Amino acid sequence: MLEMQRDMEHPKRRFCVGGLSSLKNVKSALDGVSKHFCLFLAIDATSVTDGEIRETAKLLLERGIAYLCVWGPDCERVHDQFDLERMPDEPKGQIVMTTWHSKESLSEALWFFANCVEQDHGFEALCTDWIALNVSNDSWGQRIRAALIERL
């Protein structure tokens, strides 16, 4: 279940924060979010297979992801596997953006997500949710909640 809070600085934007026990739970975490969305994923991917990452990427792309920020150990590989699942010729104005934040602290990566992430213009009308999920790390979850929900 996601905790949601409207961003007063960006009234069309809603921050949603939640935790997952594994990547397999991503689909259920997206119930009730906008048709297109931006996602911050905090994950220690060192024990996650490429196949699991790519399966999750397919699901996210089918579900309408517009932007992926990934942070945590081995986040570069998550980013790269995600990009391998993208359409080679994405429609003009609907380019799915991806970033990884391996050299930044969690706080810095969350600041980027909250303040710099903008979806491509073709997603803008139906992209109102900025979702932050952590996988199997309650400490990260508390820090994410404090950075995104409690600040509003």
Tally of domains within the chain: 1
| Mean pLDDT, the chain, whole residue set | 91
d(CA 143, CA 65): 23
Q: pLDDT, tens digit, for every residue of 98-122?
A: 999 999 999 999 999 999 999 999 9
**HSE (CB half, 13 Å, CA atoms) of 50?**
7
pLDDT of residue 53: 97
Please classify residue 16 by burial: count the beta carbons closer than 10 Å to its beta carbon, then call 0-12 exposed, 13-18 middle and 19+ buried.
buried
Residue 71: which CATH number? 3.90.190.20
pTM confidence score: 0.92
Structural domain span for residue 13: 3-148
DSSP per position, 3-29: EEEE-SSSTT-EEEEEEESSGGGHHHH
